[in-house]
């Protein structure tokens, strides 16, 4: 689908069953973003933080508050977030636009520090993810974890990251495009498993696009 093609929300175009067709934000997210490979580190940080806030809640709830989250977390500027002080954290706990969970808000700062450390070690967070995912876009529907999310979760926890269980990391890999989980019947269902060559080419294109 072309990036310039208008989204017809009122059409009978089949989508994944979880997509709330009455919510334009959700439809656009499903059609344009979910499962689309994006190796931009700021985007990867944003999605990691948002996924951590989803824990115990619905993704739609988080998505509806996304713009407020962007404002609250300085556009997900890593350096800014990792230097949030107590005054800023207290202010965030009073921000009705976001999910005001004290532990999750504080975890965002901790996770920013860990994220920056990984960038320094691997050159980028994208390179870190590729270290675990390899040059393959996995197409699978149904699982909520897999060996890759298990390994990533374990390593991130070892580094001190919070709210990064295997289920959260699996959902994260789906969101940023390392796992294509569009359901059979959805117009974005990938069909045949992507070949290693095609996956490598898509990874390369994603790297030069940002």
Q: Residue 50 in contact with residue 62, Cβ under 8 Å?
A: yes
CA distance 159 to 168: 16
**List 34, 46, 51, 128, catalytic entry:** 51
Residue among 86, 38, 48, 85 at smallest CA distance from 69: 48
28 is annotated as an active-site residue: no
Backbone phi and psi for residue 20, each to the nearest 5 degrees, phi listed first: -75, 105
Structural tokens at position 181: 């989980």
**List 28, 33, 43, 59, catalytic entry:** 59
34 is annotated as an active-site residue: no
90 is annotated as an active-site residue: no
Backbone angle region of 170, left / alpha / beta, with phi > 0 → left and psi within -120 to 50 → alpha: alpha
**List 28, 29, 33, 194, catalytic entry:** 29
CA distance 164 to 173: 12
Residues tagged active-site: 29, 51, 59
């Amino acid at each position: 689908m072309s990036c310039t093609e208008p989204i017809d929300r009122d059409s009978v175009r089949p989508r994944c069953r979880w997509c709330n067709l009455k919510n334009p934000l959700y439809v656009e997210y499903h059609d344009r973003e979910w499962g689309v490979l994006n190796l931009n580190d700021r985007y990867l940080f944003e999605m990691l933080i948002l996924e951590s806030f989803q824990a115990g809640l619905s993704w739609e709830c988080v998505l509806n508050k996304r713009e407020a989250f962007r404002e609250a977390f300085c556009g997900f500027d890593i350096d800014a977030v990792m230097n949030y002080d107590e005054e800023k954290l207290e202010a965030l706990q009073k921000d009705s636009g976001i999910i005001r969970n004290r532990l999750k808000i504080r975890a965002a700062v901790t996770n920013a520090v860990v994220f920056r450390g990984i960038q320094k070690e691997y050159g980028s967070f994208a390179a870190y993810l590729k270290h675990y995912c390899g040059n393959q876009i996995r197409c699978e529907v149904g699982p909520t974890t897999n060996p890759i999310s298990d390994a990533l979760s374990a390593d991130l926890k070892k580094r001190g990251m919070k709210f990064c269980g295997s289920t959260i990391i699996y959902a994260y890999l789906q969101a940023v495009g390392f796992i294509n989980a569009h359901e059979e019947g959805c117009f974005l269902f990938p069909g045949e498993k992507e070949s290693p060559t095609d996956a490598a080419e898509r990874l390369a294109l994603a790297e030069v696009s940002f």
